[in-house]
Amino acid sequence: MALQPTQAPSPKGYEVGTAAGDSFSAKKLLFATGVTDQMYNIQGFADCWGITALHCPYCHGYEIRNKAIGVMANGDLAYELCKLHSNWTKKLMLFTNGKSTLNKAQTDALYNNNIAIIETEISAIAHTNGYMQHIELADGSIQKVDALYSKIAFKQHCELPEQLGCSLDEYGYIAIDVFQKTTVNGIYAAGDNTTMFRSVAFSIAAGNKAGAVINKELIDDAWA
Q: Which residues pair with 14 in a beta bridge?
A: 26
Q: Which of residues 41-70 bind ligand FAD (CB under 6 A)?
A: 50, 59
Q: Which residues pair with 69 in a beta bridge?
A: 92, 147
Q: Pick the stretch among 131-139, 141-149, 176-184, 199-207 that binds ligand FAD (CB under 6 A).
A: 199-207
Please report whether residue 196 would count as binding ligand FAD according to CB under 6 A.
Answer: no
Q: What are phi and psi of 197, to 5 degrees?
A: -85, 75
Please report whether residue 199 would count as binding ligand FAD according to CB under 6 A.
Answer: yes
Q: What are phi and psi of 106, to 5 degrees?
A: -65, -45
CA–chain centroid gap for 40, Å, is 13
Between 180 and 203, name the residue whose CB sits nearer to ligand FAD: 203
Least distance in angstroms from the C-beta of 218 to ligand FAD: 22
What mask, x for binding ligand FAD by CB under 6 A, covers residues 65 to 104? Answer: ----------------------------------------
CA atoms within 13 A on the CB side of 92: 26
Q: Pick the stretch among 104-112, 140-148, 192-200, 210-218 that binds ligand FAD (CB under 6 A).
A: 192-200
Binding site for ligand FAD (CB under 6 A): 1-3, 32-34, 37, 50, 59, 157-158, 191-192, 198-201, 203
